[in-house]
């Protein structure tokens, strides 16, 4: 089955700096890679996703890059703000984009991001 | 849309008691997932349904765990008998083939004493 590794487990940055979280996956059939943000006491919330036919995707201060050859993908947050502090999870699914939605997502272990004011 | 609705938000029960967690997926979503989250193991998929049919329950830890989806708008996860090691946050999520990723509920924090 799929195995997703996520690094680092904790990350502290100064407000305004950039944050980068990296994930690797094992199943070459995986082609859907979402990122989730989990705030304290809440469920994970999808913030951005990327499919294997795209190498990079950006949404305001958040961007995700994918290297299928190396089987790794990364989340980049620029101009970090205190409200970005949360746990971030990457995930991967081996199911095809033709179906539209991932089913069995395998999650990374999470990164606790702290943005220091 | 109210999103994925889970109840109760918190549950404290004694070891050996039966626990039932409930989930209402987003209307129109045809996939429903149950996850368990702990510090040690992170997010673990327990079981998922497609069109109310269980597709993969290989993540269900033991026979003490069971899940049902009697209709498109309701699912339950039952633990009987409960044990202290079942203490965790249990999340329900739903998705559709036309959508993007999962939508998670707010979770049920279960404490078994």
Q: What is the pLDDT of residues B25-55, one digit of tens each?
A: 999 998 999 999 998 888 999 999 989 999 8
Q: In what order do the strands lie in the sheet with A72-77?
A: A4-7, A19-25, A72-77, A62-67, A56-59
* Cα–Cα distance measured from residue A98 to residue B89, given in angstroms and rounded to the nearest whole number: 32
Residue A97 Cα, gap to closest chain B Cα (Å): 9
Residue B89 Cα, gap to closest chain A Cα (Å): 10
Q: What is the pLDDT of residues A64-84, one digit of tens each?
A: 999 999 999 999 999 999 999
> Any CB–CB contact under 8 A between A44 and chain B?
yes
For residue B62, what pLDDT is reported?
Answer: 85
Bridge partners for A75 per DSSP:
A21, A64
Tokens of B90: 């249990």
For the stretch A65-70, contacts whose Cβ atoms lie closer than 8 Å and that sit 24 or more positions apart, written own/partner, are A66/A33, A70/A24
Give the closest of B91, B97, B104 to A101, CB-based: B97
For residue A2, what pLDDT is reported?
Answer: 83
Q: Tokens 């081996």 identify what position? A: A94
Q: What is the signed CA dihedral for B16, B104, B52, A30, rounded to 10 degrees?
A: -110
Q: What is the pLDDT of residues B10-31, one digit of tens each?
A: 999 999 999 999 999 999 998 9
Using CA coordinates, name the residue in chain B closest to A42: B106
Residue B105 Cα, gap to closest chain A Cα (Å): 6
């Amino acid at each position: 089955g799929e195995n997703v590794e996520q690094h680092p487990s904790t990350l502290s940055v100064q407000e305004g700096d950039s944050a980068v979280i990296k994930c690797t996956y094992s199943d070459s059939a995986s082609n859907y890679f979402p990122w989730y943000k989990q705030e304290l006491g809440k469920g994970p919330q999808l913030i951005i996703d990327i499919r294997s036919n795209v190498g990079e995707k950006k949404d305001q201060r958040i961007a995700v890059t994918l290297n299928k050859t190396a089987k790794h993908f990364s989340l980049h947050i620029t101009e970090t703000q205190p409200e970005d502090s949360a746990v971030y999870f990457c995930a991967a699914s081996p199911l095809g984009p033709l179906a539209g939605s991932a089913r069995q997502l395998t999650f990374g272990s999470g990164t606790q991001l702290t943005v220091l004011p | 849309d109210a999103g994925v609705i889970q109840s109760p938000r918190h549950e404290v029960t004694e070891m050996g008691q039966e626990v039932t967690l409930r989930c209402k997926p987003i209307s129109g979503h045809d996939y429903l997932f149950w996850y368990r989250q702990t510090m040690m193991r992170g997010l673990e998929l327990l079981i998922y349904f497609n069109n109310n049919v269980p597709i993969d329950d290989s993540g269900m830890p033991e026979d003490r765990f069971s899940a049902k989806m009697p209709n498109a708008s309701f699912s339950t996860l039952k633990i009987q008998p409960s044990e202290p090691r079942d203490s965790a946050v249990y999340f329900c999520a739903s998705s559709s083939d036309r959508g993007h990723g999962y939508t998670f509920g707010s979770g049920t924090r279960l404490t078994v004493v």
